[in-house]
Amino acid sequence: MDKNILDGCKKNDPQSQEKLYRQFYPAMFALCKCFFSDNHDILTAVNNGMLKVFRNIHQYDPAKGELFNWAYTTVRHAALTLIRDKKTKLTFELNENNGDAVINNPFKQLEWKDIYYYLDLLPANTRYVCSLYYLEGFSIKEIVNLIEMKEGTVKWHLNECRTRLKIIFEQHSARNRNIG
Amino acid sequence: MNSIPLETETLDKKKVHINVANDKGYPEPDVPVQEAWESMQQLLVQTPAATVAASGFKNWLRKGWGKIMIGTAIAATVSLIAYVVINKETVKRDSLPATDTVHNSAPVPDTLMPAAKEKRISFEFSNTPFKQVAAYMEKEFGIQIMLKGNIGNCNITTRFDNNSLKEMLDVMAYTLAFEYIIDEDKKQVTISGNGCN
């Protein structure tokens, strides 16, 4: 990170803020796209997060890590706030410990564009939980606290994600075989 | 079965954010960066730095000194207003006792609050020369806008939804890097700037 950009941002210099924004934007957009399908929601999460970055940049301590990682965490936090605001009340719960949902990652062999494609096929709440668990690496207990959801519900969404994607993968495979 | 190591390796590749601030590892955003930045600029203007970083002020209030200071300031302001009102009414109607003028007096008309300051309008311009935007604002707010420098030729893309003149000027001043002065007596705004930022 260019120190001049950081110093400029601390002084609320618009040009420095723009440089920083343009540099981080692709990563922040990719992050928020894991959570939201609508571009307006994605941009809201990115800009709410970057606003916090700009307004609190004087609190950033370079000794504790890269500015990018701090900004990434801040934007992710803003996305989670948006998720909590938008979250619909769900009562589904999975009480049994479903090991499959925890171990097998449906995204493990996929590229970004495929990940987004399949995430778009999931319901909003299932998408949040899946992205946090499989793409952001949070544990179930962490997700429970992050989006204020019951543990059983989180497990249900993980199971739902895998079940739905399994069907979609099978349909795609069958279609590819027929084409071939 | 080596599913766990494989999963870890693949996930690590996907977590390109760690110490990778360039955009090589990320797909092209669906919303162009220019459009996103313009939206960010409006957010930055609408949320001034002081209101976000207000924790120091809150602490100051919490300690009690803030309340004392604010209380004193309010008392002083009320006294000053009362003094001004009494004096004005006494000059106008010196036959009446001063105490009556305090209770019966109408509020002092605020000559520095023209209708243009209160009015809120909505509009949207896409890649439009600023002089056209200024002309539209003149008509809507019933004011005169003087443009100094080349600012009138700068193109601007902007959208306002139920905003006041001051809010609009603040956003556009940030976007186009111009300065403005409001002459409330003449209902005139002078905007000066050369660059288009």
Q: Which residue has the higher pLDDT, B46 or B114?
A: B46
Does B27 contact A at CB distance below 8 Å? yes
Looking at the partner chain, which of A24, A39, A113 has a beta carbon nearest the beta carbon of B21?
A: A24
Residues A11-63 have pLDDT tens digits of 889 999 999 999 999 999 999 998 888 899 999 999 999 999 999 998 888 88
Burial (CB count <10 Å: 0-12, 13-18, 19+), residue A83:
buried
Q: What is the pLDDT of residues B122-134, one digit of tens each?
A: 887 878 888 888 8
Topology classification of domain B115-192 = Phage tail protein beta-alpha-beta fold (3.55.50)
* Range of weakest confidence among A43-47, B40-44, B50-54, B129-133: B50-54
- Lowest-pLDDT range of A138-147, B85-94, B145-154: B85-94
> Smallest CA–CA separation between B75 and chain A, in Å?
34
What confidence score (pLDDT) does residue B86 get? 67
With 80 as the cut, is the pLDDT of residue A180 above it? no
Q: Do residues A106 and A5 touch, judged by C-beta distance below 8 A?
A: no
B98 has a pLDDT exceeding 60: no
Which pLDDT belongs to residue B88? 62
The answer to whether residue B22 scores a pLDDT higher than 50 is no
Of A23, A43, A113, the CB nearest to B21: A23
Give residue-wise pLDDT tens across range A115-146: 888 888 888 889 989 899 888 888 899 999 88
Q: Are the C-beta atoms of residues B51 and A98 closer than 8 Å to each other?
A: no
Q: Averaged over B19-43, what is the pLDDT?
A: 77
DSSP annotation of A87 reads P
| B19 has a chain A CB within 8 A of its CB | yes
CA distance B178 to A14: 13
Chain A CA closest to residue B42: A47
Q: What span, in angstroms and rounded, lies between the C-alpha atoms of A50 and A21?
A: 8
Task: Identify the pLDDT of residue B60.
Answer: 52
Does B174 or A82 have the greater pLDDT score? A82
Predicted confidence (pLDDT) per residue in B60-80, tens digit: 555 555 666 777 777 777 777
Please say whether the beta carbons of A118 and A168 come within 8 A.
yes
Percent of chain B with pLDDT over 90: 4
- Name which of A25, A30, A27 is nearest A119 in CA terms: A30
Decide if pLDDT at B109 tops 80. Answer: no
Question: How many angstroms away from the CA of B20 is the closest CA of chain A?
Answer: 8
Res. B24: pLDDT tops 60: no
In chain A, which residues have their Cβ closer than 8 Å to the Cβ of B48? none
Q: Is residue A155 scored above 80 in pLDDT?
A: yes
Question: How high is the pLDDT of residue B23?
Answer: 43
Q: How far is CA A25 from the centre of its chain?
A: 14
Domain boundaries, chain B: 62-104, 115-192
Mean pLDDT of chain A: 83
Residue pair A145/A83 in contact (Cβ under 8 Å)? The answer is: no
For residue A32, the model assigns a pLDDT of 92
Domains and CATH numbers, chain A: 3-86 (1.10.1740.10), 99-179 (1.10.10.10)
Q: Is-contact A141 A151, C-beta < 8 A?
A: yes
> CB A103 to CB B40 under 8 A?
no
Closest to A27 (Cβ–Cβ): which among B26, B31, B43? B26
The β-bridge partners of B75 are: none
pLDDT attached to residue B71: 72
